[in-house]
Homo-oligomer: A and B are copies of this chain.
């Protein structure tokens, strides 16, 4: 169910074009390689139009912003829209500074991404920026279900808010995922690398089924695979330092059947 998506990524090896932050680049590229996808990093305005057109998915991440990179993101986004390439946005730190909020808002506006993947606070801020009241849904154990749903409907896409418990929603159906490991938050760029992996899974859904692809399932499967790999990695690690390479090992060897057996997903 979830594991089969990983199998499809391995078979198809989608090219994922990343315009991402400096901290995450290496780990995100290694995450994609471990999962059988093919990463490319390119950020020059001179080439992103072409590169995005070649890709199976485009992943935009605002972790270490600057104006020239933002312009490249906008160009790449337009190219992706023109060529039917799905876009994943990771709004790192939105709300922390006005600049990040402005940029994230701009990236949502003209050519809305198909998928947004952030932590709960980032998703809440981003949804709130669209006029939705902030605050978390107490009935869902503090998860931003209402905000994520509203944002997903606005994008006609899928929003994933990750944390100790994750939600993935298209605004109609919502998955609640309880896999993962606390050490994920003690290694930098795990969230950014997950966003890159989401790109690979969405590329597969889009390539096989076009705009009717099951983006909700693809994103959910990406999160489940990454987090089950993290659970397996924990046993091979002695701390967050060795957890990092162990996570890549686990993702590389991950057995689809084991993913389904370990998945703790409930649909709301």
Contact = CB atoms under 8 A, between A and B. Distances in A.
Interface of A: 21-27, 29-30, 33-34, 39-44, 46-47, 50-51, 54, 63-68, 93, 96-100, 185-189, 236-242, 244-253
> How many monomers of this chain does the complex have?
3
Contacts of A47: 65, 97-100
B239 A248 contact: yes
A248 B240 contact: yes
A176 B264 CA distance: 51
A242 B238 contact: no
Contact of A54 (B23, B96, B242, B251): B96
Nearest to A48: B97
Nearest to A183: B252
A29 to B, nearest CB: 4
B242 A246 contact: yes
A127 B224 CA distance: 45
B23 A26 contact: yes
Given A26-B27, A41-B23, A99-B44, A238 B241 contact: no
A69 to B, nearest CB: 9
Nearest to A103: B46
A64 B42 CA distance: 5
